[in-house]
Structure 1
Amino acid sequence: MVHIVHRLIDRLTGHARVTIMETERMLVLRDGRIDAILGPGEHRIKRRNVVREVHDLNRLRFVSPYERALFRTRPELAESHLTEVRAAPGEVVILHRDDRPHEVLLPETRAVVWIDAGPWEAERHAVDERLTVPPALMRRLVRVGLTAGFNTVEVEEGHVGLLSVDGVRLAELSPGTHGFWKLGRHVAVKRVDLRHRTHEVTGHEILTKDRVTIRVNLTASFRVTDPVKATTAVKDFEEALHRSLALAFRKTLGALTLDRLLADKVTVDVEAAEKVRAEMAGIGIEVGEIALKDVILPGEMREILTSVVAAEKAAEANVIRRREETNATRSLLNTAKVMAENPVMLRLKELEALEAIAGKVERLTVHNGTEGLLTDLVKLRD
């Protein structure tokens, strides 16, 4: 009965009753002006010239076309229900809810949140010229999924990262994951490999002093010792190394004949390598071992050299053969002299020959009889 009476009174007076839940708030404008922010419960509101705007606290932020007007015309009402958080130029604000990061505010941005949706806390961080995100803060934000405000760059082990902001080189980054705030500036990280590596120059054509065209394969081990100098002194330091190797060996080998090149290959390597090392040291590259791996000759030149080598080896074989024959003849001559001067030695040789023959036949006939043979043996013994 009471409820019916209230409804009749409200209708006669031009009012309406609204119920607001615990998770809701209502912004009321009367005659075009902000009048109140109503909390949970039942409220009696006039029907005419009233604008009602219901907000859900679960959305946390206060988003309304009347926001600025509320803070300007009713600051005490706004402060009793809302918290405004501003990030100054040069700082980033981490807005915490219940001690957990909830939102990242980049410089010169703001957020308005409901006090009753909190508790809220603002954690402020100054932004340095490198725009880096502190590592501990970056890990916390990654864990809760708040990664929209920054970019991450990974620098692998054995590498160094060269950080540039708006084209200006600022720092060297050690291996690991690095974060940078998104503030509308161009951030670039160039990764440079500091490990020992090998560079190959294959099929490089060179004209020797005696006008023989050869192709050579080169190899060089190197590492970057000054990454800043290596990336700023030249456009591409590996291309510079390739060019330096090719030119150094072209000058060195081009001043030699083919025979000299093949005969003094090690000396040629050392002379050309020193030129390359000196030039590369100027751009922050340390060059280690440099080797002339292969010297590839044209087909007709290979045939000629093969014929020359074969002739040389044949001549050497003939010399060796003649030397051995001479030695054998000299040995026979010495043996003959010994036998001529010593009859006993001659008879022993005869017996040795007889023994060798007897071992190869089934029957041996001695024409001068056994007695004569034994007599000869006795004489030899005497």
Structure 2
Amino acid sequence: MTTSSSVTARTLFNPVQIGDLQLTNRIVMAPLTRNRSPNAVPPPMVATYYAQRATAGLIISEATAITHQAQGYSDVPGLYGADQLEAWKRVTDGVHEKGGKMVVQLWHVGRVSHVDLQPNGGKPVAPSAITAKTKTVLIQNGVPTFVDTSEPRALETDELPDLVNSYKVAARNAVDVAGFDGVEVHAANGYLLDQFLRSGSNKRTDEYGGSIENRARLMLEIMQAITDDIGGGRTGIRLSPVTPANDSLDADPQPLFDYVVRQLASMNLAYIHIVEGSTGGARELEEHPFDYSALKAAYHDAGGNGAWMVNNGYDLELAEHAVSNGADLVAFGRPFIANPDLVERLRIKAPLNPQDRATFYGGTDKGYIDYPAL
């Protein structure tokens, strides 16, 4: 990590260099699914929404499906059609005009989907044919409705090279066509790559199942393909070692994720994005203790030099403490929903706008682009 100054005290508001990206501060807008892209195409209000929040040092887009098969929720955006890429270019242009930086989160939901969202009504895909004990969202008569996920089918071994390539193509199109400054691979929260990582969802008997090395193989092949193509300096990854989100379970996560970050160390990534605790919930789980300091040490001891981004339930006090104790970036999620000028509010310690939870998922500009700035 190289900061803009070796003498200035580390604060949330220092400029910082991460990989190929120069950021104006250490505050990151975390990916936030908002279900406002009918037919997987971001409408004009999405460009307004992100431009309003461009004072973040880095914006990570809402999770964006790399293929039609990767879709798992109604009205989430895609990155696999010309109309989608053109719409995202309008978004990134708006962010850049405001002086911001933006990466897209590459998403494949795997088994967290429904047949109504899949090509030709097919089954969702997964490492193993185990239905996730969770819900997904369908927009029915204009109203977001939570429904059970559908039974998946196990991916065949010979399908996996095409899957790896689909990530690489999405990453290349993201930077070359849609104008993103880079990509973040979503390998967290019980979605496809996390499903491969975890013993609770991966019961395969081929070279992609069984041992830690085998369960991590697909994710590492994807990361290698992307970094070989667009460069590690424009690539990040999101991991969530202990979250139970989307029926995400592993018998022993510490050695699993220690192994993962050690393997990532040689790829010269822009950053590692770690969700601490239960996504959107408790930061510490008694039933799933985890040593995040040991995880970070495993990465650095293996030669990893990417920025270390922390996430989950951070407020100003926690964030300042994290940065002063070695975190390079702090991601804020829901506070950015109601506070387009969150960076300035944190800087001057101004009150935050209250959130309208009824408008989090789906809808129009209400609760989306109508929150006031200072």
TM range (shorter): under 0.3
**Higher RCO by CA contacts (8 Å cutoff, separation 6 or greater):** 2
Please identify the structure whose Cα radius of gyration is greater: 1
TM-score (norm 1): 0.18
TM-score (norm 2): 0.18
Q: Which has the higher helix share?
A: 1
Q: Which has the higher strand share?
A: 1
